[in-house]
Structure 1
Amino acid sequence: MKIVILDALTYGDTSLVGFDTLGDVTIYQTTCVDETIERIRDAEVIVTNKVVISNAEMEAAPKLKLICVAATGMNNIDHEAAARRGIRVKNVAGYSTDAVVQHTFSMLFYLMGHSRYYDEYVKSGAWQKESVFAHIGPSFSELRGKTWGIIGLGEIGRSVANIARAFGANVCYYSTSGKNENDDFEKTTLSRLIENSDILSIHAPLNKSTENLISHSELLQMKDGAVLLNLGRGGIVDEDALSVIIDVKPIYVGLDVLMSEPMKTPHPLLAVKHPERLYITPHIAWTSREARERLIAATIDNICSI
């Protein structure tokens, strides 16, 4: 079986040797749009994370039987074209839930506890000059008793909700589809969720109903001192609006995803006057070592199933 892995760099240092037992494997670290067709011409199986496989690519690969998306989202595949040609498309779901949940709380506590300020304070030598043992700078609060609003109560959202409740937070949620019902937590409108939440976390996909869901008016609705976390998809939070509002309203924002990745420069979020209110990580919430190992193992299982 001829297997072509198109963007191995996205899996970091995770071993890919398991693919070798399945057939003739060709590995490319990255693949540009104009390279895809030539690289998959003889492929029976394609493994892709973000490389787009459209009708044109499928037409150029007559032996293709299976497209393995080494991710959960599959919007880089033309599913109608695959169905017409009898090409199976398989993804991997649930492999990164624990990692994303963990990163959600990591981002929250970094922002909520003003960790950047206190770390820099000590390393600057300022603490060494204090006359008492504790330096009390920016105030931080406990999570107990706070209201945590969740946008997108899927598997990740539910896990976050349960852990937040264990910390003593009051959890409510907004369903972006309007179809999600969960009796364990209070369901509310988006407006009420934003107005009442001390912490607001996003775990939803990007689609027509979520694009720019959080923009100027929603950011202005937030409580002063509230924390917004986006671990869903870039484009749900309006980055241009955020770059303006974060400088005029004291809110704290953690982003693991952006509309365009990697981040392009110049970017409005790199020019904010209050960078201490903003924490950005480069789409790493899903990338724990264990999550990447589960991803590769599940992708191999998908190939074995054909």
Structure 2
Amino acid sequence: MRGYYRIRILICSFLLALTVVGPNGKTWAAERAAWRDPQHSIIVDAYELNTIDWDELLKDKRIAAFISKASDGLPESFSCTGDHGGDTVAHCRTMWRKYAVSRELFRTRRLVAKANGLLWGAYHLGRPGNPVDQANHFLDYADPQPDELMALDIDGLDVSEFMSLADAQVFVGHIKTRTGRYPILYTNNVVARYIADHRDDYPILSRLPLWYARYRPDISGTFPLGNWDGYTMWQFSSGDNCSEKNCPYRVAGTLTDIDVNVSPMNKVELARVWPQGNLLPAKPEPAPMIIAKAETCNSPQPLTPISLEPILTAAVAVHRPAEINELNYQDF
């Protein structure tokens, strides 16, 4: 029995190491509330309905970049002729006016942000419809410059509401053809895990730098690891977890519905890599796990079986704060 307990102690020690040390030797504790580290850059991202007082926002010197929503699905029809998919001509004209005003707002925000030294980026919200037409729409709308970041936003796997992953591959490939750069991928844990689990089907998406949406104080052991070793940006605050009484990070000059992100880099480091454009290195296929039958030195009898579940549960419960001790976590 002494050997049995020695093995249990070794396993516990190993699991403890896993709960403390993350990929590349980085401690998971460092990821908890990363936005509190003054060396980590803050990035604001907004869409056309977010109100912004620029004089107030620019007082926050931790804000290094501003990303704006550019396009959403396919372009609106200026002429409002032909098939509107059941829509009326009057509503089509209303949507065109909204589209035109949003485009002017996008351009104004870019001028203000860049004139005040902020890095600039734009994203496209992927919808059902021809992905090449959507990519052209994004490039025509955003007119991304070589020093500006591009992103594709895939909010879910429901292909009746969002761009399919197969179409997303076509979209990013067309962006690469026209600009010489790939966009980064904005998504949540559900979509990221699906891409990782099917990375042979999505060899480009699974290698795009990750803009990760998760409204928790901690993202230890997510992304998912095994495909992404880390995040380019982490969207940690939005209207989902920010209220007047409690908010992870308040951006002056904005309301509680503004999206806020953190980068694991300081402002100088972030500026150096900001435009992105390359794929991440390909991940090797995981090696098959081989379990050898354990025998004692003096007897062919196997050791007493050990259940890892109570050991893992105890290790996580002791060495991770109670509020993030979630084996079955949710994404939002």
Asked whether the two chains share a fold, i.e. TM above 0.5, the reply is no
TM-score when normalising by structure 1:
0.29
Which structure carries more relative contact order (alpha carbon 8 Å, separation 6+)?
A: 2
Which structure has the larger Rg?
2
